[in-house]
Each structure stands twice: as C-alpha cells, then as structure tokens.
Amino acid sequence: MSDPQPARPQIYLVTPPDPDPQRFPDTLARVLDAQPVACVRLSAPGTDADRIARAADALREVTHARDVALVIERHAAMVDRLGLDGVHLGDGARGVRKLRADLGADRIIGAFCGASRHDGITAGEAGADYVAFGPVGAAGLGDGTTAPRALFEWWSEMIEVPVVAEGALDAALIESLAPVVDFIGLGAEIWGEDDPVAALAALTAPLG
C-alpha cells in the first residue's frame, strides 16, 4: 500500500507595503479569482490610520467576497474596528498571549519568527494560530540568515501549529518545501511582475 500524498500547501499572499486603495484591490481580485488563496496579509508599515483604514476597507470587500481571510500586520488595535480576521505580528512570540486574551479565540493571530525554532515554539504555546519562518531564499536583507528546509521539516514532524514559509521564494524552493509546510507566503515575488496572475501560476506550478 503506497503512502498517502502530502496535502498541497495553501497560498498565503502578502500585499505590497501600503497598497494603493484605488488600484491594488482590482489587481488582488484578479489574483484571487485565478487560483485558491487561503489568506491575505495587509502590509501596513506606516502610522497613517486613515490611509491604513482605507486600504483595509477596500481589500476587505475583495477578500471577504471570496471567502478569503484578511489579516493586518502589527496594527492589532484596528482588527475589530475594521472588521478584519486577525493580525500578523513581526516580532515572534512577543505580545501573542496578551492579544489572544484581548481578541478572543475567533481572531487569527500569526507570528513571524525568522529562523528561530525557539521563537516559533514559544509563539505557538502562547496561542498563535500559525507561525511564519523566513526568508527562505537569499533576500539580501538583515544579516543574511535564512530559514532552512530542515527547520520546516522538523516543525512539520514535531509541531501541530501550522507553518508558513515566506521570503524570496522561487519555484524550486516552493517545490522543495511543499511536503513540509502548510502555507506558501508570496508577496514581492508576484506584485513586482507585469502580470501577477501569471507570476503566481509559474511559482506554484510545481504544486500541481
């Protein structure tokens, strides 16, 4: 009897930083209509609450119409006010436990943990719904540390909390990681291309 095939990882999209609320929703809609996406993360690095709210409102209409979750980076205080599905934290387990108490059980809390197994475990124990590791590829940022496949392989064998692989991904890395991750996180890899739909299709072709 042959072993069952591993489940295909789901797609997790990260918007460009501070996406244009007038133009980007149409682009996102085309991508979401092209293939199944589990979650969209609004990258909102600024502090202009009105601008962030306009972007969130525009993207929420697109994602929720397609039954796709929408989470926001960092700005946990905006989750309830803007009707979002949750928040993505960029500093490991810090703040996860308090946010779980504040937001309740129904909101999504994700935590980016770089390449730290310890931070990932701590975030999961504190109540994170998923943990993200990365960058996987050579991003040319920070100190050059990357999250190796061995980390995801260990995580998939030992930890039940879903895991996202993100950062400087290409088709070969996605093919390698597919058996050991729950989500493939893509953002700059597609939005910088002339045709994001085609770029996503090319990157995810190895998933079948």
Superfamily for 10-207? Answer: Aldolase class I (3.20.20.70)
Residue 1: pLDDT over 80: no
Residue 162: pLDDT over 60: yes
Give the global pTM: 0.95
C-alpha distances (whole Å) from 46 to each of 74, 75, 88, 168, 202 are: 10, 10, 15, 23, 31
Burial of 193: CB neighbours in 10 Å, binned 0-12, 13-18, 19+ = middle
Per residue in 32-78, pLDDT tens?
999 999 999 999 888 899 999 999 999 999 999 999 999 999 999 99
**Backbone phi and psi for residue 186, each to the nearest 5 degrees, phi listed first:** -130, 140
Per residue in 74-133, pLDDT tens?
999 999 999 999 999 999 999 999 999 999 999 999 999 999 999 999 999 999 999 999
